[in-house]
Structure 1
Amino acid sequence: MEHIELFFKSIFIDNMVFATFLGMCSYLAVSKKVSTAVGLGAAVIFVLAITVPLNWLLDQYLLQPGALTWLGEEFADYDLSFLSFIMFIATIATMVQLVEIVVEKFSPALYNSLGIFLPLIAVNCAILGGSLFMQSREIATLGLAFNYGVSSGIGWFLAILAIAAIREKIRYSNVPPALRGLGITFIITGLMAIGFMSFGGMLTGGDEEEAPVEETTVKVEEPKKDSEQEKVVANNIKVNE
């Protein structure tokens, strides 16, 4: 259940583009055609699926305070968290270089259409954001880290694919001159963000269980019998006399 919840939340509710607006440069620049959007989106999924688990391993066994205890007790006090950005970016740059080589080898047309934006995945804030969010959310296992990387990539892929399909259609629409180009694109992106954010709460897990109400009992003294009351009154009269 935890894997399924993380998967759908990362795609719809915590979408990289619509929830945190990361990776907007590539999102706006490469979304003019569906074919190039599909290629770049697939590359982002691949890079996130590889870099997030790798950076999770680096964070767990190298960067966190006390992560080096597997080397010996004398390394228990070491804290290399200040190297997080450098290590994460190095891992991302390596994977992006691998993707660039593979795309150039097997799809030269896609490589030429993506142009400079393919190597710019290395500095795409959505890619680095995936690793940093993984770290800040304290994802517990390698499987969840891989799940988060794949689902975040799919969310970014759906975002750029949707806007590319819409931009191809609005070329033939009567858009006001002042809004043509990036203007109408930003408006559509905002409306799509509202639509995706409407999924918030779909995986809340149901209503919270109500806390049990403690029963309080109040002891009520039973009224004294008439005979006992009469005796008390008689004794009071004798005392007064």
Structure 2
Amino acid sequence: MKTESLWYIFINASLINNFVLAYFLGICPFLGVSGKMETATKMGGAVTFVMLISAMCAYGIHVLLVAINAPFLQLISYIVVIASTVQLVEMFVKKMSPALFRALGIFLPLITTNCAILAVALFQTNKGYGFVESLVYALGAGAGFTLALVLMAGLREQLEFADVPKVVKGTVITLLIAGILSLTFMGFSGLGS
């Protein structure tokens, strides 16, 4: 593996290969929670935290499973770690901010099935990142996820005041905006070469 700078790993995960807008992972919370800026930022923070914890644990699990010659257990191990971390986050949010817990609704426990989080664990392992690189990669992926949510929430809040034709109101305009955002993030792919 060629060595990559930490800055490049971060930019790659957040902009060039954004998990939501380039890989189309984590679309459910992207479309479901991006209606309001406040909930979008909080969800982005929760997902980033889970990504960081999962990346740390995935690195340790990978090292352990390679040492005992059982790499076939990686996927199930990663899923257990992610589910446990999400349960802790859910309990913390419920205790510290019941209003946020109600605002996030079903999307908070659905972080467990957010394929973007599992992808962070799998991608960092496949890329052969060390511990620090794994953390930077997870932080970049979380920042990119949060950026996508915040951009979408800001645009959707502005649309509430716009005169949108009835034909494209609601889900249609949301999907159109998501497609345009995805196209704009494709422009960052030139940074990767």
Superposition TM-score, scaled by structure 1 size: 0.76
Q: Which has the larger radius of gyration?
A: 1
RMSD over aligned Cα atoms: 1.3
Q: Which residue of 2 aligns with 1:54?
A: 57
Cα distance in 2 for residues equivalent to 1:8 and 1:53: 19
Aligned residues: 190
Q: CA–CA distance in 2 between the matches of 1:171 and 1:46?
A: 30
What does 1:1-241 correspond to in 2, within 5 Å? 2-62=5-65, 64=66, 67-68=67-68, 78=69, 80-139=70-129, 141-204=130-193
Structure having greater relative contact order (Cα 8 Å, sep ≥ 6): 2
Task: Quote the Cα distance in structure 2 between the aligned partners of 1:82 and 1:154.
Answer: 30
- With 111-120 and 168-177 compared, the bigger mean Cα shift is at 168-177
Q: Distance in 2 between matches of 1:193 and 1:96?
A: 27
Q: State the alpha-carbon separation in 1 of the partners of residues 192 and 176 from structure 2.
A: 28
CA distance in structure 2 between the partners assigned to 1:181 and 1:137 by the alignment? 39
| Structure 2 CA distance for aligned equivalents of residues 91 and 203 of structure 1 | 31
Alpha-carbon contact 2:16-2:192 (below 8 Å) kept: no
Greater fraction of residues in helix: 2
Unaligned runs of 5+ in 1: 69-77, 205-241
2:112 aligns to what SS in structure 1? helix
Identical aligned pairs, as a percentage? 39
Letter in 2 for 1:112: R
CA deviation string 1:135-184 (max 9, x = no partner): 22222x10000111111001000001110110011112122222211211
Counterpart of 2:122 in structure 1: which amino acid? L
| Alpha-carbon distance in structure 1 between the residues aligned to 2:173 and 2:74 | 38
Distance in 2, matches of 1:85 and 1:203, equals 28
SS at match of 1:199: helix
Q: How big is each residue's C-alpha offset from its partner over 1:188-227, in whole Å with a ceiling of 9 and x where there is no partner?
A: 11111121121223254xxxxxxxxxxxxxxxxxxxxxxx
Segments of 5+ residues of structure 2 without an aligned counterpart are: none
State the distance in 2 between where 1:116 and 1:202 align: 36
Q: What one-letter code is carried by the residue in structure 2 that aligns with 1:23?
A: G
Q: Report if aligned partners of 2:29, 2:107 keep a CA contact under 8 Å in 1.
A: yes
Q: After the TM superposition, which segments of 4 or more aligned residues of structure 1 sit over 6 Å from their partners? A: none
Distance of 2:109 and 2:20 partners within structure 1: 19
If the length of structure 2 is used for normalisation, what is the TM-score? 0.94
